[in-house]
Structure formats: structure tokens, C-alpha cells
Amino acid sequence: MQSSAKPDYGIDAPGVVRNLFVIGVLLLVLGYLFPVIRIGPVVFLWKSGALVTGTLCLIEGVLMVVYARHGKFLHRDRMLGMVDWKGNESVLDVGTGRGLLMIGAAKKLTTGKAVGIDIWSTKDLSGNAMEKTLQNAEIEGVRGKIDVQSGDASAMKFPDASFDVVLSNLCIHNIPTRAGRDQACREIVRVLKPGGKAIISDFIKTRDYVKAFTAAGAATSRTGLDFLRTFPPLRIVEVQKPGQSG
């Protein structure tokens, strides 16, 4: 039985959102208060530039909040819709955060199970903590269908061919090196069962992901940018591991 409480999936990149609002307001205020700046004999007429830049910062901040509160649910549904669910799948959500994808997948399952791993960085998601993820799963009525663990995307502890489906959104780009991101892609292919599918979404580096997945032997395709549901606009990389699915 589901709880009457509402799940909270947090704000993505909260520091970026805060900075956009702070810089936007600061530029607007400075643009109005100091339309002209004189440095020695040089006069800078910077009001219009400050106002335009400040307004753009505020708009970007608002769009990121709108995505976090509404758009990412539409994006989750789009990602999950790319899987032909049978209900018995074993699912891995890489960089699960507060469980949006993992819990969405768990709702598709009957006898299957969804596992989420994360390093729990609050820089990447507000309130990012295992207990918050478990609380969301409890509220959504899928606590018995999920398992949440601490884990590194580039060094997973799962055996080869453990999962029918691997999901990940806005995770892999946080790995600081190209070598680390490529290793995460190889790990995703490794833990997929033959015939399994990975659905990976991000706003940058997706061309590199395609190369890494392809080099690991998987069939890979990439969508265009989604300007309607996501901000920053996201792409989806679809990965199919060769072999016959169970």
C-alpha cells in the first residue's frame, strides 16, 4: 500500500542552479545601478550587456528547476518506454541518486528486481543520500522490488552478465577523466546479459559514450537533443549487447 506522503527526487546540480540565480540577480542590479563604468580614460557602457546576461542566467536557472520538478519525469518515462518490459527483468540504475529511474523501472516489474548504485554526491543532486532513496521507494510502494548500494560506475562489483537492463541519467559525465568515462561504459556492457539493453542519457560527452560502447562490442545509437522536456537538453544513447536475451 502506497504512503500518502509524496516522494522528493531533488534538484539536479543544485550549486549550478544557485549560482545562476545569484549571478543573474547581481548582474541585473549592477546593470541598473552602474550603467556606465569608467576605468581611467576609458568608459564602458555595459548596462545592456549586464541586463541581457543576467536575464539569461535567471531563465536558465528557472528552466533547470522546471526540469527537476517536471521535465525529468517525462524524460524518465521516455527512457523507460525504450525497453520492452516483461516484468521479470533484473535492472541496474547507475548513478541512481534519489531513485527516479530505479523506482520507475521497479513499477514495471512483477518478479524482477531493480538495483541502484551511487556515490551519493550532493553536488550532483540535492539531498543525495541512500536513506532518501529508500524513503522514496517506500512512498512509491516498491521497497520490496529494489536494492540500493554504494558503488562506482567505473568499477562495479557485479559479476559479468548480471542485468537485463541498465539505466543511467546525468551520471557518467561526472567522472572527471575520459579514461574513467570509457571504463564506465565498458562496465555497463560487461554487466549486461547477452541481448540486454542499456539506456543512457546525458547532456555532454554522449558521442564519446557511443564510441566506447561500440568499441566494447555493443550496437549503439544516439538520439537528438530533447529541447522540449529537458534542460540542459539531453540525448539518449541506446545500447544493445550482442547475443540472445533470456
Same domain as 146, residue 28:
no
CATH of residue 193's domain is: 3.40.50.150
Grid cell 555532454 in the structure block, residue: 204
In the chain, the number of structural domains is 2
Contacts of 82 (CB under 8 A, 6+ apart): 197, 199, 236, 238
> What's the pLDDT at 39?
58
Same domain for 39 and 93, yes or no, is no
Same domain for 196 and 102: yes
Closest CA to 129 of 116, 143, 142: 116
Confidence band for 31, pLDDT divided at 50, 70 and 90: confident
Q: Name the domain boundary from 71, 87, 104.
A: 71
Chain segment 46-67, per-residue pLDDT in tens: 677 888 899 999 999 999 999 9
Is residue 90 located within the same domain as residue 23?
Answer: no
Task: Indicate the length of the chain as a whole number.
Answer: 246
**58 plus 141 within the same structural domain:** no
Could you tell me if 42 and 123 lie in one domain?
Answer: no
Residue type (1 letter), 23? I
The sheet with strand 219-222 has its strands ordered as 146-150, 113-118, 90-94, 163-169, 192-202, 235-240, 219-222
Mean pLDDT across the chain, nearest whole number?
Answer: 93
Q: Is residue 185 part of a domain?
A: yes
Question: Does residue 3 lie within any of the structural domains?
Answer: no
Residues 167, 193: one domain? yes
Q: What is the mean pLDDT of residues 88-113?
A: 98
Mean pLDDT throughout 153-174?
A: 98
CA pair distance 223, 203, nearest whole angstrom: 11
Is the model's pLDDT at 91 over the cut of 60? yes
> What is the DSSP annotation of 149-187?
EE--TTS--SPTT-EEEEEEES-GGGSSSHHHHHHHHHH
Same domain, residue pair 67 and 78: no
Q: Which of 71, 93, 117 is the last residue of a domain?
A: 71
Report yes or no on 26 lying in a domain: yes
Query: Does 1 fall in a domain?
Result: no
Nearest to 198 by CA among 180, 220, 214: 220
**Interior angle at CA 165, CA 211 and CA 125, nearest 5:** 80
Residues 35 and 108 in one domain: no
126 and 170 within one domain: yes
Question: In which domain, by residue range, is 198 found?
Answer: 74-240
Question: pTM (2 decimals)?
Answer: 0.92
Q: Is 66 within 8 Å of 232 (Cβ atoms)? A: no
Co-location of 65 and 83 in the same domain: no
The answer as to whether 235 is a domain residue is yes
How is the chain split among helix, strand and coil, in percent rounded to 5? 40, 25, 35
- In a shared domain, residues 48 and 88: no
Q: Does residue 160 belong to any structural domain of this protein?
A: yes
Q: How confident is the model at residue 1 (pLDDT cuts 50, 70, 90)?
A: very low
Rounded CA separation 55/23 (Å): 10
Other C-beta atoms lying within 10 Å of the C-beta of residue 66 = 14
From 54, 71, 88, the end of a domain falls on 71
Amino acid at 41: P
pLDDT at 246: 59
